[in-house]
């Protein structure tokens, strides 16, 4: 029996109470971030779903109208669908729902941020690589006990620095403890990002 509601996914059991929810970028799949998950925390369980939306056959987690312009109705529905999947998977795999940390890259970071804003009960922390402001929620979530690390590229052609800062402020305004780091990089993930996120996760 697979967890319901369903996503194609990989699950790797861990040796600690922590689970990393791995959320790939546009064109990725459920296998992409498994090595990254092991690198960030070799003892954590890994839950890695594949986004259900196809854009020119490239999987994503929600629809967009253009680069950086999101279909907000779809984003909201997909965020709730993903949150329900994580809750069902937690029961199914006997994951501790209080220790789920999202690790998202690009489109995956954007839906992770949307999870924080719309379904804050699902995540205890989040690592967001190259994230944007996904939406402004109608009601402010309670992120008081949530830690967030944001890794941005100072030459990112997709995410301007002002948007990264706006996201940090939005999350801080809801009570999250946010760490923001800028790297000499573009939209691609770098080893410096991974190293800094790994240290933050340990601390
Ligand atoms: C998005 O659609 O989430 C952003 O534009 C990032 C991406 O290119 O996937």
How do residues 3-19 score in pLDDT, each as one tens digit?
766 999 999 999 999 99
Pocket test for ligand 1, best of 65, 78, 107 (most atoms within 8 A of CB): 107
- The whole model's pTM is what? 0.97
Find the mean pLDDT for residues 174-191. Answer: 98
Q: Tens of pLDDT along 88-114?
A: 999 999 999 999 999 999 999 999 999
pLDDT confidence of 1, banded at 50, 70, 90?
A: low
What per-residue confidence (pLDDT) applies to 120? 97
What per-residue confidence (pLDDT) applies to 4? 66
CB 183 within 8 A of CB 191: no
Q: Which CATH number fits domain 9-202: 3.30.930.10, 3.40.50.1820, 3.30.565.10, 1.10.10.10?
A: 3.40.50.1820
- Domain segments of the chain: what residues? 9-202
Widest CA span in the chain: 45
CB 85 within 8 A of CB 122: no
* Average pLDDT of the chain, as a whole number: 97
User: What is the Cα gyration radius of the chain?
Assistant: 15
Q: Cα of 73 to ligand 1 centre, how many Å?
A: 16
Q: Is 124 known to be catalytic?
A: no
Find the mean pLDDT for residues 60-64. Answer: 98
Atom of ligand 1 at shortest range from CA of 25? 9
Atom of ligand 1 at shortest range from CA of 70? 2
Q: Cα of 154 to ligand 1 centre, how many Å?
A: 17
Pocket test for ligand 1, best of 55, 106, 109 (most atoms within 8 A of CB): 106
For ligand 1, say whether the CB of 110 is within 6 Å of any of its atoms: yes
Tokens of 80: 């709730």
For ligand 1, say whether the CB of 64 is within 6 Å of any of its atoms: yes
Handedness of CA 159, 161, 162, 167 (dihedral sign): positive
Q: What percent of the chain has pLDDT over 90?
A: 96
Atom of ligand 1 at shortest range from CA of 111? 3
Q: Tens of pLDDT along 9-48?
A: 999 999 999 999 999 999 999 999 999 999 999 999 999 9
DSSP lists the bridge partners of residue 177 as 147
Q: For residue 153, is pLDDT > 70?
A: yes
C-alpha span between 203 and 78 (Å, rounded): 32
Tokens of 169: 């402020």
Q: Which of 180, 30, 26, 179 is nearest to 105 (CA)?
A: 26
C-alpha span between 103 and 19 (Å, rounded): 10
């Amino acid at each position: 029996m697979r967890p319901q509601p369903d996503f194609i996914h990989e699950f790797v059991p861990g040796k600690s109470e922590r689970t990393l929810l791995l959320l790939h970028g546009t064109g990725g799949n459920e296998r992409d971030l498994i090595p990254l998950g092991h690198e960030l925390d070799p003892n954590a369980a890994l839950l890695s779903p594949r986004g259900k939306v196809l854009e020119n056959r490239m999987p994503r987690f929600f629809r967009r109208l253009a680069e950086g312009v999101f279909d907000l109705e779809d984003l909201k529905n997909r965020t709730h669908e993903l949150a329900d999947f994580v809750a069902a998977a937690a029961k199914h795999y006997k994951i501790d729902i209080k220790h789920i940390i999202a690790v998202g890259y690009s489109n995956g970071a954007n839906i992770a941020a949307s999870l924080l804003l719309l379904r804050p009960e699902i995540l205890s922390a989040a690592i967001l690589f190259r994230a944007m402001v996904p939406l402004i929620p109608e009601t402010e979530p309670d992120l008081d006990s949530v830690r967030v690390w944001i890794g941005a590229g100072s030459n990112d052609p997709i995410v301007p620095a002002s948007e990264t800062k706006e996201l940090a402020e939005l999350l801080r305004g809801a009570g999250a403890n946010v760490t923001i780091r800028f790297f000499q990089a573009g939209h691609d993930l770098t080893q410096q990002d991974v190293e800094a996120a790994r240290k933050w996760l340990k601390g």
